[in-house]
Amino acid sequence: MDDLAATGRGFTQRHGDIPSLLKQQWARDDREWLQVRLLCKAGGRVAVLEYFRGQIVAEHPGGSFECKFYAIENERWWFSLLMGLGGQVRVLEPPELAARVQETAKEILRNYDIQLS
């Protein structure tokens, strides 16, 4: 926020019953949600579980695991976090998301004039 100034006036607003307000908000939510399933390396465990609050659905030898979580399809923050995990994760589902990750990675490489074979 820019150019804030004190006015000397107070502000009070009553919000009502929080559980009812949340229920109303969820009823109006028409965003598209994705179920995402990742294969995660052991080194990414803390970040994946902290950022995505996912559920581990399978454990593998060596500490790798599969995780699922839900995300709002067209919101950028979680996709940026996913890309930030780099080689620690691989998108297993949905295939459209795996393709989006691949295309984004290619765009990044093109920014550095790196040719893909």
pLDDT of residue 115: 75
In this prediction, residue 3 carries a pLDDT of: 85
| Structure token pair of residue 54 | 């996912």
What is the model's pLDDT at position 29?
80
Identify which of 58, 52, 98 has the alpha carbon closest to the alpha carbon of residue 78: 52
User: What domains are defined for the chain?
Assistant: 32-111 (3.30.70.240)
One digit per residue, the tens of pLDDT, for the chain of length 117 reads 788 888 888 878 887 788 888 888 878 888 888 999 999 999 999 999 999 998 999 999 999 999 999 999 888 999 999 999 999 999 999 999 999 999 999 999 999 987 776
What's the burial of 26, exposed, middle or buried (CB within 10 Å: 0-12/13-18/19+)? exposed
For 17, phi and psi rounded to 5 degrees? -75, 115
